[in-house]
Amino acid sequence: MSLYYNLTIMKSIRSLSLLLAFSGMLNSIQVDAQRFDPNFVLPLGIGIASPTIEPGRSLYFYATPDFDVLPDRFKPIDSITFKKGEHYTDIATAPPWLVPEHLKLDYGIFTFRVLTYSQNWLEVIVNNTNGLTRWVDRHAFGYTEWGTYLTEIVAVEIIDVDKNPIRISPQDNASILAQVPDAQLRPIAVKGDWLLVSTVGLADRIVPTGWVRWKRDGVMLVMYSILS
């Protein structure tokens, strides 16, 4: 689990640095390697949020909010601005701590994990290497809870197939269908902590679907792909 997490975080850092370098921002965005904690476990949160991305638009971040007051009454503590790129909307400026869940603007993908949801506010993780959070205007984001989000992605991959095999039903004592490392599994449905996935092509003479745990005790047990 820790090896997967370390590799995932370092890939996110490299991807962000490359993107910002092409945006002319590498000097203003620096990742402090000394702050990376290999024992840190990223909180699962309650879902995924994606901001509206438009040239000239700003995405504002706030400190702890007053839930009875609208975000536009507060002074932001930081922001991201966007610009028109050659082929897609790109980042113009961003805080030095930005390491979101996903950042692939050529596909219009920019997502954060959400920890808290309210009528006007969202608390999002803005740095997946250390769990730093900020508050944002809920109306500036689209929000999807995890159960819905997982049924809309391309595939999941089980992190530890020995501890979390594909089972015939959503129970820890159910019979094991398959234990295939690195398998890309198409999500079909969510039931609590369990995810129904397609098992077509994994092995001979097995049923076409099976169940895997996608989370336990607030920790995600699968990796997921949003692009094919």
pLDDT value of residue 13:
44
Distance between CA 197 and CA 212 in Å, rounded? 7
pLDDT value of residue 205:
66
> Letter for the amino acid at 203?
A
Q: What length does the chain have?
A: 228
Q: Kindly state the percentage of the chain with pLDDT values over 90.
A: 71
Check pLDDT > 50 for residue 158: yes
Check pLDDT > 50 for residue 27: no
Tell me which of 60-74, 77-91, 113-127, 199-213 is least confident: 199-213
Exposure class string for 18-56: b at 16+ Cβ within 10 A, else e:
ebbeebebeeebebeeeeeeeebebebbbbbbbbebeee
Burial class (CB in 10 A: 0-12, 13-18, 19+), 80: buried
Check pLDDT > 70 for residue 202: yes
Q: Which two tokens stand for residue 99?
A: 């390491």
pLDDT, greater one: 221 or 206: 221
Check pLDDT > 50 for residue 103: yes
Which residues neighbour 122 within 8 Å (Cβ) at sequence distance 6 or greater?
49, 114, 116, 135, 136, 137, 138, 141, 143
Which whole number is the average pLDDT over 183-196?
96
pLDDT value of residue 8:
46
Distance between CA 158 and CA 138 in Å, rounded? 31
Domain range annotation of the chain: 2-146, 153-225
Q: Residue 35: pLDDT band by 50, 70, 90 thresholds?
A: very low
> Letter for the amino acid at 47?
G
Distance between CA 150 and CA 140 in Å, rounded? 22
Q: Provide φ and ψ at 29, rounded to 5°.
A: -120, 110
Which residues neighbour 77 within 8 Å (Cβ) at sequence distance 6 or greater?
61, 62, 63, 134
